[in-house]
Structure 1
Amino acid sequence: MPGMSSTPAPARLVDKALVPRFALLCLGIWLNAADTLVTATIMPSVAKEIGGYQYFGWSVAAYLTGSIVAGACSGKLSIAMGLRAATAISGLVYAIGCAMSALAPEFITFIVGRLVQGLGAGAVVALCYVAISALFPQNLWPRVYGAIAGVWGAATLLGPALGGLFAAVGFWRGVFWMFVVQAVIFVGAVMVMLPGGKREEGGGRIPSLQLALLVIGVSLIGGAGVVASPRLAVILAIGGMIGMVAMLAANTRTQDRLLPKSAADLRTATGLGLLTIFACEAAVIGFTVYGPAFIQARHDASPLLAGYVTGAIAAGWTACALIFGHVPAHKDGRFVRLGAGVIALGAALSAFAVPRGNLVETSLAFVVLGAGFGLCHAFIARRTIAGAPAEEQAMASGAVPTSQLIGGAVGSAGAGAMANVLGFGHHGIDAALATSQGVLLFGAFLPLTLIGFAAAWRLGRG
């Protein structure tokens, strides 16, 4: 073909020329993949030092919201600045956010740092996936995608260990400084290894209206938990839900979409799939946000142990995804339904085990919860994408992780609001309060798992 080198493309990732490129991608993905479990593990230590129990849910919500915004803008940024400059700037933004969190004298500054981290990390991950086509021959793309998926598994194992070790020695700020160093290394490697030319394809305008409505909706839901007036809290929560509905309505009336046009149409597989992903993620993210704090308070557990018990969710997900990930397409409807049902069961078990069970019961409940996602997530994604019109299948593919991020952001903000209503924002997480009010905190989101299950049941039809 014209413009192609006559030299045969390397066929192995271990080729000397490709190893540094693969390492660069792994580092970029790692910066985002390790964040959730690392941060969840250290959050009790953060709150003890600088306060802010009433903003606990924002530690995750702000990060995920930033990731959504950055991910939606990264393609435009790459076109305008070139892949190398866009990726380097995103890495610097991430480093700045980590430094802000590390230096934070109080919790508001910490949350702003988390938002900036999310902006940087969301763009870095999106641009790393773009960089695959620039760094590797086409015949290796599937293998690269599969290989970097292992980074997420490694983060499941290493994330709680890193957070737990730093928290155990009383230096939670060191976690963020460690990521600052890694981000600087990443930026240096990007400047050396990525091409600097501008991309000409993949354009499109940024869906600014939908992003603005999304940010407003998440902020209002989170704000409901930090106001003193119950009436104002209800108004803010309702306003947040209206903001989310308005975002979906705006998405159907513009060509600059954040999600496929059929995202709000529950008569389509795409709409049902995205609803299932959103509802299930929003329902269970509270276990990641508050699980480590409950485990430490109730069982006098170390941050390291609490992190690994919470990591059982990811372990169950990974194990089932590996075992059942190659189910043929004609059977995936069964796994869509089965997985959503197991998620609902795992969430119910976890809602009781975290505040009232022992560590073994909590770990097993988390494994069941994660197993539900591992059983169905890939098949929900497959049906969601296949159900979109041909011209929107690429957008539907990107909408799968975006819907999960939106669910996580909304669920984190909602969990923070509920925790403050129940008194956790004022007194922190103590054993007595955890036992008496914890079931209400986690159980309040169980109806979302039923919504997800109902959508999955319809999606699973032949």
Structure 2
Amino acid sequence: MDDSQRVGSWRELGSHCGTAVVLAGGVLVGAVNIYLAASLLPTAVADIGGERLYAWNTTVFLTAQVVATMLVSRVLARRGNTGSYLVGFGLFTVGSVVCAASPAMPVLLVGRGVQGLGAGLSTGLGFALIHSALPRHLWVRGSALISAMFGLGNFVGPALGGLFAQFGSWRPAFVVLAVASGVMAAFVPRVLPGGHRAEAEAVPVPLGSLTLVIGAAGAVSVAGTLSDEVARVAFIALGLALVVAFGLAEKRSPVRVLPRAAYRSGSTLRWVYLTIAFLAAGVAVETFLPLFGQRLGGLPPVAAGFFGAALSLGWSASQVVSSSARRQRTVRRLRVAGPGLLAVGLAVLAVLQRRDAPLLLVLAWLPVLLLAGAGIGLAMPHLSVAAMAGASDEEEGEKAAASIATVLTMSTAFGAAVAGLLVNLGRPSMVASARCLLLGFAALCALGMLTALRSDRLAQRTATAATGGEVDMSGR
């Protein structure tokens, strides 16, 4: 029995060029901002002071971003497609202007918070509008495009931020972000379908769930700033406890952030989200790769920075090939193989860490990093589509799509906190720190293979039951 599915071409996605540009642009601007701001903050602190509040820049931004991704469905219900994007780009533009004009660090923190709200909305809207604005056979291509923007942002952000920081020009960098976001906002009404929602349709805000997630995001973000290991573990544990409390509260509440299917027994959706979470958390190792390149490989900062971005480069490039998969059996294998390839790549890289490593050994890191990043790109577009297709109706499907951004953002925050913990476990030896980090995340990403297998088995069981017990032999 043929188990192939129709997958539209990149050229066909080009016929929706305007929509694709807005979806990709919204994600790219937010992704670039994360790493660009990290590169600029030391220069900003030297100019306006506020070193004691330095670490709160990331905490404020990530917490606001997580909250905004959870509100995407509510904003769509009230504003429609065009209005929602205008709100997202508008908030990001205003936040960037506030950052550029900040006379002191508290004002900069306000700007970062507003930026986070705009970036979270734009990212969540990207996934939601793939579901509603593109035909189903283009979901894989649209998901690949958006996912590639995360990788591209991780690559471009540090380079752009480093360029501005080199000349001590941190304010113009935020102006550039504001202009880019403003241009995207002007483009939105010309290309997006309106997606009208009835004014009478009042969607309640899940305040309890929001409070728990804000607490969880804040706890793990604070954990990433602490040097005391006991306190760091305590805050990570608190964050995990609040996430569990969020899940329990959502399951019992009539007003949810995640779709109903995520809490239904036998549903694949929770396992798909977990697999996405493990893949996204694995990207946290990028933060320390430039450090290892300089301290262990003797690389100059520019070359070490490129090595740090190699994971994202492999992620972005591999999706061009991965998104062309048509057979369901192949798609299932890619979803399982992706976390496995990432785990193996990180484990091999751990073995290759040496003090005063020779140049040939350091050069061998590069293909390993590219292959590890390819694991993310092989699986992520198909996991995104599985999440979008895991809900029972149009409204729930849109919510399932928007929730991908919430899962990605929360996983990134947890990954960053755990990465700092693992690096500190290996101190004072830099080799031990590198191996602790890479082997720890290899084990974490390997769990993604188990969750992917679980989701696939449930999907096959559901498909068999739907066909009255007929088994698809080609999909085994």
TM bin, normalised by shorter chain, reads 0.7 to 0.9
- Contact 1:321/1:374 (8 A) holds in 2: yes
Superposition deviation, residue 77 in structure 1: 3.1
- Contact 1:286/1:442 (8 A) holds in 2: no
- Are 1:73 and 2:76 counterparts? no
Write the distance in 2 (CA, Å) between the matches of 1:118 and 1:211: 15
Write the distance in 1 (CA, Å) between the matches of 2:372 and 2:151: 17
Question: Which of 81, 92, 95 in structure 1 is aligned with 2:90?
Answer: 92
> Counterpart of 1:459?
455
> Counterpart of 2:412?
408
Distance verdict in 2 for CA 1:26–1:404, change over 3 Å: closer
- Contact 1:61/1:410 (8 A) holds in 2: no
Write the distance in 1 (CA, Å) between the matches of 2:117 and 2:378: 30
Question: Which of 365, 368, 374 in structure 1 is aligned with 2:368?
Answer: 365
Write the distance in 1 (CA, Å) between the matches of 2:289 and 2:157: 15
- Unpaired runs of 5+ residues, structure 1, are 1-10, 424-431
Distance verdict in 2 for CA 1:46–1:280, change over 3 Å: farther
Superposition deviation, residue 247 in structure 1: 0.8
Write the distance in 2 (CA, Å) between the matches of 1:268 and 1:133: 19
Write the distance in 2 (CA, Å) between the matches of 1:323 and 1:337: 16
Superposition deviation, residue 270 in structure 1: 1.6
Distance verdict in 2 for CA 1:300–1:112, change over 3 Å: farther
- Contact 1:164/1:307 (8 A) holds in 2: no
Distance verdict in 2 for CA 1:108–1:169, change over 3 Å: same
Write the distance in 2 (CA, Å) between the matches of 1:55 and 1:314: 26
User: Could you list the per-position Cα deviations for residues 289-332 of structure 1 after superposition, in whole angstroms to 9, with x for gaps in the alignment?
Assistant: 33344445555656554443222212212332222323211332
Write the distance in 2 (CA, Å) between the matches of 1:208 and 1:312: 40
Write the distance in 1 (CA, Å) between the matches of 2:212 and 2:111: 22
Report matched runs for 1:2-401 at 5 Å: 27-39=25-37, 62-80=60-78, 86-102=84-100, 113-127=111-125, 145=142, 149=146, 155=153, 158-189=156-187, 199-200=197-198, 204-226=203-225, 231-263=230-262, 267-282=266-281, 284-296=282-294, 304-327=302-325, 328-351=327-350, 359-390=362-393, 392-401=396-405
Write the distance in 1 (CA, Å) between the matches of 2:398 and 2:453: 25
* Equivalenced residues, count: 439
| AA matched with 2:378 | L
- Are 1:448 and 2:451 counterparts? no
> How does the TM-score come out when normalised to structure 1?
0.75
Name the SS of the counterpart of 2:288 in structure 1: helix
Write the distance in 2 (CA, Å) between the matches of 1:205 and 1:448: 36
Q: Larger deviation: 290-299 or 359-368?
A: 290-299
| AA matched with 1:412 | A
> How does the TM-score come out when normalised to structure 2?
0.73
User: Could you list the per-position Cα deviations for residues 381-420 of structure 1 after superposition, in whole angstroms to 9, with x for gaps in the alignment?
Assistant: 3444445445744433333333222211222233345556
- Contact 1:248/1:263 (8 A) holds in 2: no
User: Could you list the per-position Cα deviations for residues 60-98 of structure 1 after superposition, in whole angstroms to 9, with x for gaps in the alignment?
Assistant: 554343223212223433544566555444333212333
Write the distance in 2 (CA, Å) between the matches of 1:336 and 1:379: 7
- Contact 1:92/1:120 (8 A) holds in 2: yes
Q: Larger deviation: 100-109 or 324-333?
A: 100-109
Percent identical residues: 26
| AA matched with 2:288 | Y
| AA matched with 1:76 | R
Write the distance in 2 (CA, Å) between the matches of 1:35 and 1:291: 19
| AA matched with 1:395 | K
Write the distance in 1 (CA, Å) between the matches of 2:398 and 2:131: 16
Q: Larger deviation: 396-405 or 242-251?
A: 396-405
- Contact 2:338/2:376 (8 A) holds in 1: yes
- Aligned-residue Cα RMSD (Å) equals 4.4
Q: Larger deviation: 331-340 or 181-190?
A: 181-190
Distance verdict in 2 for CA 1:81–1:180, change over 3 Å: same
| AA matched with 2:197 | R
- Unpaired runs of 5+ residues, structure 2, are 1-10, 461-476
